[in-house]
Amino acid sequence: MNEITPNESRTGDEAPEEMTRRRFFEKLSIALGGLCAAILGVPLVGFVIAPLFRKGPAEWLALGKVDEFEIGKTVNVTITDPSSLPWAGVTSKSAVWLRRVKEDKFIAFSVHCTHMGCPVRWLADAELFMCPCHGGVFYSDGTVAAGPPPAPLIRQEVRIAHGQVEIKSAPIPITTTL
Ligand code: FES
């Protein structure tokens, strides 16, 4: 006949106080592991995502020589966003719609629709900007003609310097209407 001595457990070979000590060390190991992961992980995650929230400095971007642009025409000019991350690749490319209004006057519109950022197209015959995503329409001065865009196209500052047309860089204007 088997007898259970006071130091033996009915469910295993360990005494109750030994199990308690083992559980304590298990929990301590988990807590220390979590603490180490947090100490190492938080700065690492911060390093990776911080550039996404950093605003780049505004810069003047050259679009071309003044004489390259015809008076009265609205043309699409590709630009490189200076605030992009070094590994952004083609996503750092953007564009503006540039119009030479008269000899020494230009206006520039961000190509991004103010609804959700899709690139708008200029329809010269209709003198309208059209957004292909949700049917937004803008007049030639950038004001909203129809559709969901909540605001006019963003006008970007333009200047002429050393015979070059330049625009001031600006973040992509995206409004959330959801
Ligand atoms: S993104 Fe242009 S209408 Fe929605």
Query: pLDDT tens, position by position, for the chain (178 residues)?
Result: 455 455 544 555 666 777 788 888 888 999 999 888 888 888 777 777 666 666 666 789 899 999 999 999 999 998 887 666 666 666 667 889 999 999 999 999 999 999 998 999 999 999 999 999 999 999 999 999 999 999 999 999 999 999 999 998 876 655 554 4
Express the helix, strand and coil content of the chain in percent, nearest 5 each: 25, 30, 45
Ligand 1 in reach of 134 Cβ (< 6 A): yes
The whole-model pTM stands at: 0.66
Ligand 1 in reach of 64 Cβ (< 6 A): no
**Own/partner pairs, 23-29, CB within 8 angstroms, 24+ separation:** none
Ligand 1 in reach of 144 Cβ (< 6 A): no
112, 116, 121, 172: residue to mutate for ligand 1 pocket, most atoms within 8 A of CB: 116
Residue type, 93: K
Cα separation of 64 and 163, whole Å? 9
Q: What is the DSSP letter of 63?
A: E
CATH dotted code for 60-168: 2.102.10.10
130 Cα to the center of ligand 1, angstroms? 9
5 and 13 Cβ atoms separated by less than 8 Å: no
